[in-house]
């Protein structure tokens, strides 16, 4: 499986995540933008995710809830600013366990020779929030999610 690169410049406000998928960009974009596909790969593999809202237009709200095997629920929501088909998605992201602490997330899809590089940038209001997100197990969640997305795209 392809490797994920996670970059967080010391003292910065951003996290940059890159991963290449062996699929065309319309397929990868669809897996991000279709809620029925999205819940099949997002997040740590121990969690199951259900969509609560998915209004994928600028100004629309999204919300989903992830549940672990003990029944604990983790809610996430945000608002779209930009959706360009097969090109990019820009939205905010808030973990409801830390209300009011949001990030702005921009995802870019770039195809080359039938493979697609996905670049996700998340920017935070301060370094503490960014570093807290990194130390919360984000890396494992991203890697497990992207491994599941790789498997989904091979189907």
Angle at which helices 139-154 and 25-33 cross, to 10°: 120
15-74 positions binding a second copy, by CB under 8 A: 58-59, 61
- Number of residues engaging a second copy in binding (CB under 8 A): 28
Helices and strands, number each (H, E), in the chain:
4, 8
Nearer to a second copy, 46 or 84 (CB): 84
Nearer to a second copy, 18 or 101 (CB): 101
CA angle 121, 37, 155 (to 5 degrees): 105
Nearer to a second copy, 18 or 61 (CB): 61
First to last CA, the chain: 15
Contacting residue, 18, 27, 67, 101, with a second copy by CB under 8 A: 101
In the chain, what's the furthest Cα-to-Cα distance?
43
Contacting residue, 18, 67, 81, 148, with a second copy by CB under 8 A: 81
Q: Is 92 in the site for a second copy (CB under 8 A)?
A: yes
Q: Are strands 14-21 and 61-67 parallel, antiparallel or unpaired?
A: unpaired
Nearer to a second copy, 23 or 118 (CB): 118
Nearer to a second copy, 130 or 144 (CB): 130
Q: Is 90 in the site for a second copy (CB under 8 A)?
A: yes
Q: Is 110 in the site for a second copy (CB under 8 A)?
A: no
Q: Which of 53, 55, 51 is nearest to 36 (CA)?
A: 51
Q: How far apart are CA 64 and CA 66, in angstroms?
A: 7
Binding stretches for a second copy (CB under 8 A): 9, 11-14, 58-59, 61, 79, 81-82, 84, 88, 90, 92, 94, 99-104, 106, 121, 123-126
């Amino acid at each position: 499986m392809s490797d994920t690169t996670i970059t967080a410049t010391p003292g910065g406000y951003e996290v940059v995540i890159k991963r290449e998928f062996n699929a065309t960009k319309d397929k990868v974009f669809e897996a991000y933008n279709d809620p029925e596909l999205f819940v099949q790969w997002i997040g740590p593999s121990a969690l199951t995710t259900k969509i609560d809202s998915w209004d994928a237009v600028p100004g629309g709200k999204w919300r989903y809830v992830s549940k672990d095997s003990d029944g604990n629920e983790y809610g996430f929501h945000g608002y779209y600013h930009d959706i360009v088909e097969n090109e990019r998605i820009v939205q905010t992201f808030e973990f409801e366990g830390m209300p009011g602490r949001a990030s702005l997330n921009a995802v870019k899809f770039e195809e080359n020779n039938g493979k697609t590089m996905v670049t996700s940038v998340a920017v935070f209001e301060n370094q503490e929030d960014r570093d807290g997100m990194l130390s919360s197990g984000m890396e494992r969640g991203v890697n497990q999610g992207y491994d599941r997305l790789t498997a989904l795209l091979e189907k």
